[in-house]
Structures are given as structure tokens and as C-alpha cells.
Structure 1
Amino acid sequence: MGAHSNKHLLYNDWTADKKLLVTESEFNEDLKLNYSEMKKFGINKTDANYYLPPYEWNDSTITSWTKKNNLSLINFTKGTLSHADYTTPKDKNYKSTKTIYKSILDYESEESLHGFLLLSHIGTHPDRTDKFYLELENLIKTLKHKGYQFVSLNTMLD
């Protein structure tokens, strides 16, 4: 578990130069609000010291600010569509739960998921009626049956 932004701010534009779009103060305030929300569920910053930038898009400045906040910046492993579980049917890039699930199993059969970080959003827009997170138990059972073990980020990154 870790923070992912409170307001899902876009930190950098989508150009190769990644022009910075937020100030350090805005970054810190958003991070503070994110941890305030997590605290309501009993999750403290010391228990969740990983940070995944919104849109999984950042530059060296954001990396530096993350480190100044005593957090470890992480990102998902590319290759599957697990990260697309936030999309809604109205989005041009919408991916159904069935498509996402299949992309994970297809990747696993062609490559491997050993050491893989899958991103799944535990909260999504109400317009997304086929919630991918409702399939996580089935996915975990399927992957365990294939011999995979699930470990914490702390264990994996140590």
C-alpha cells in the first residue's frame, strides 16, 4: 500500500521534455491530503512509504521531492493492462475487466510475472460497473495455482 496522490494531479506535461506543471508546495499539499485520507482507514505514512505518481508519469524533480518526503517512488511493470482498471465505458481508451484479466494471463503465458508489479485501483469511478478489483481473488487463485507466490513490496524490493 502506498500513496498515489489525493487529487490525481498531472505533474508533467506529456512531451518528451516533461515540463513541470506543479510547484513543490502543491506536490507536498496533495501528498499530505492523500495521507490524511489514508489515516481515516488506519493507514499511517510509516506503514505506506511507497509512492506511485499519478498517471504513472513523473520526472527527476518529482523523484527528488518524493525522496525528500522519505518515500520510495515505485511504478507498475509494463506489459499488461492492469493499470487500465480506472477507465469507464465513455473513455476512448476503455478496457473491460475481461480484457484486463486476459491481458495479464496472456502476458504470463508468453513471458512471466515473476517480480511483476501489477497496478490495481481499489476505488474507481461509479460509471465503471465492471470493477476489476472484484476479480482479484480469482486472479490470485489462478496465479497461485500456476506456482506464483505473492510477497509484500518490502520483501520484493529488499
Structure 2
Amino acid sequence: MVLNKKLNRVIKCNVLFLIVACMVSFKKNKENDTGINGPAMDGTASSIYPMAAKENEARRNTQCTNNKTVSYGAIIRGDSTIKNIALVFTGDEFADGGDFIDSVLQSKNMNGSFFLTGNFYSNQQFKNLIIRLKGHGNYLGPHSDKHLLYCDWIKRDSLLITKEAFKNDLQAAYKKLRQFSIGKNDAHYFLPPYEWHNDSIASWTKEMGLQLINFTPGTRSNADYTYPEQESRYVSSDSVFNSILNYEQKSSGGLNGFILLTHIGTDPRRTDKFYYKLPALIDTLKSRKYRFVTIDKLLQ
């Protein structure tokens, strides 16, 4: 009897040790992958948590206001009764898809919405691309200045930035936008770095006279930055493409009002570039009577 009790205590201790070890390992991997408050692969997070759990959390913390879906103070979907979609492209350090995306949008007689960091706007190699995107009627907005992580991945209400630092960073981003004759009135919407925020970030954004937005969860479109070396986290372009069309078929609201987010460029280690599938995606969705609009028109 005594031996059994001791054995049970040993088993419980071992189980507890394994649980703690797994939690510590998870946290280290998360911090190493995302590079807290530093640049990351083209402006989105690469950790396990945001690849899965943040979409689930977004669905649990949503409400509808004026036919728009809001999560943690950010608009994440337009009117779900109208077949409008906003193609949104974010970028930080990579722009390899820029010329191709621009040519596709022109050939399809449509515009996209580009949310780029201050790093991107100040990169001289990207200057001509930015000028062309603006000249062709696309929406250009901010994705922060230095691509900072605002809040903890797991404890979302735990801020990793002060209000002053947040405002200084966003003001610096708009200063770089002004170099392209884009002011706050032209770029009223702000998409947070890593596509990750909380209520405080939304509130501070509102205090600056701006509106926070984020992508619509449900598809794997925002995973188009992953690359094979990430193993189980890698999502192929075929998988991304199919996830969008499968969601459109299975969801009662289809892709109505969707903020469909992909990237203007990705790490060179990803050779399977999703932006090459844009022509087929656009044609397919147009055949299903969807209309592509810029973010300001989607949310007006």
C-alpha cells in the first residue's frame, strides 16, 4: 500500500515535470521564431501559436457592429451580406512579388490594399514599386514603422510596448508615408504588425484618429510566408489556394466582406510563391460573382 502511494507520487511528479518542460520549450520556440520586437519574415509571425490559435481566439471574441465584424476593437470583416472582397498585402523586408502583383491587378482592372512598414517605405529599392502601386490607384497604408510585437502571444492582454512607444512608432510610419504624399486622411486604416493586437492597441489607434483592422480568419491565406524548413508549419500554395475556395463553398456567408490577407513578398527559402496563383484565384472568385474592392470601399 505504501509502495503504491510512493509510486503514484513519482508518476505525478514526472507528469508535472513533462508538462512544465513542454511549456518552457514552447515559449522558447515562440520567442525564437517571432523575434520579439524585431523584424521577422516579411512582417508576419512564424510561431506555432499565431498559425493556429490566434484564428480560433479571433472567432471567439467577435461582435457585429454596423454589419462589420469586430475583434478586440479591430474590424476583421466587412458586410457579410455583400459579395465584396478586399485583397490585402502586407510587407516589411521582402517585395519580390510586388511587380507581379501590380501587373495582375492592372490586367484584371482592379485594385488592392497594401499595408507596409516604415522599413518598407524607406527602402530605396522599393521606392519605384511604391510609386507605381500608388499611381495605379491602389490603397497604401501603414503596418507600423519598425514592425514591433505589441502584446504577448498567449497572454494577449499583456502589452509588450508602452502607449508612448506605440504612438511614436506609428507616427514615424506616417512620416514615411508622407514622402509619397499619403496622409492620415488617405490612409485612415492601420493593420498591426504580426497581425496581432489587443483592446489597448485598438483604443490607442482610435485616439490617433485611425481605425485598426485585421485579416478575416478562416482560410490559410496569411500562411503564404511559410517555407519548407519550418516543417509542419509550412503551408504550400496549393493548400492556401484550396483553403480559400473550400471556405467559400462551406461557409454560409462565403467570402462576403472578407479581408483576404497575403504578402507582397516572402523569404527566399519559399520558392512556391502564392502570388503566382492570384490570377486563377481572382478569375475563380469573379466567376462566383465576387467583386474586388479596396479596404476603404469595403468598410465604408
Q: TM-score range by the shorter chain?
A: 0.7 to 0.9
Other-structure match for 2:194:
55
Q: CA RMSD in A?
A: 2.1
Q: Which is helix-richer, 1 or 2?
A: 2
1:138 to 277, 280, 288: 280
Alignment-derived partner of residue 108 in structure 1: 248
Change (3 A) 1:28 1:84: same
* Structure 1 gap ranges (5+): none
Q: Summarize the alignment of residues 33-72 of structure 1 with structure 2, pairs less than 5 Å apart.
A: 33-39=172-178, 43-72=182-211
Q: Give structure 2 stretches of 5+ with no counterpart.
A: 1-112, 114-140
Q: Which residue is 2:153 aligned to? A: 14
TM-score, with length taken from structure 2:
0.48
* Structure of greater Rg: 2
Q: How has the CA–CA distance of structure 1 residues 71 and 59 changed in structure 2, closer, same or farther, with 3 Å as cutoff?
A: same
Q: Which has the higher strand share?
A: 2
Q: Distance in 2 between matches of 1:39 and 1:99?
A: 38
Q: CA deviation at 1:58?
A: 1.3
Alignment correspondent of 2:237: 97
Q: How high is the sequence identity, in percent, across the aligned residues?
A: 51
CA offsets 1:22-63 (integer angstroms, 9 cap, x no match): 112322233234335545555443322211112222112111
Query: How has the CA–CA distance of structure 1 residues 33 and 133 changed in structure 2, closer, same or farther, with 3 Å as cutoff?
Result: farther
> Which residue does 1:126 correspond to in 2?
268
Q: Kindly tell me: are residues 75 and 127 of structure 1, through their superposed partners in 2, closer, same or farther at Cα, counting changes over 3 Å?
A: same
Deviates more, 1:135-144 or 1:1-10: 1-10
Q: Is the 8 A contact 2:237 2:274 kept in 1?
A: yes
- Shift of the 91–33 alpha-carbon distance from structure 1 to 2, 3 Å rule, reads farther
Query: Do residues 3 (structure 1) and 145 (structure 2) align?
Result: no
Matches within 5 A, 1:143-154: 143-154=285-296
1:157 aligns with 2:299: yes
Distance 2:271 2:182 in 1: 27
**2:156–2:198 CA contact under 8 A, matched in 1:** no
Amino acid at match of 1:136: L
One-letter identity of the residue aligned with 1:149: R
Deviation at 1:108, TM superposition (A): 0.9
Shift of 1:98: 1.4
Aligned length, in residue pairs: 158
Q: Which amino acid is 1:138 matched to?
A: A
What is the CA deviation profile of residues 73-112 of structure 1, one whole-angstrom value per residue up to 9, with x for unaligned ones?
A: 1111111001111222222422121111111011111121
SS of corresponding position for 2:206: helix
CA distance in 1, matches of 2:193, 2:161: 12
| Cα distance in 2, alignment partners of residues 128 and 67 from structure 1 | 36
* Cα distance between partner residues in 2 of 1:35 and 1:125: 26
Aligned-partner SS, 2:234:
coil
Q: What is the TM-score normalised by the length of structure 1?
A: 0.86
Aligned counterpart, 1:30? 169
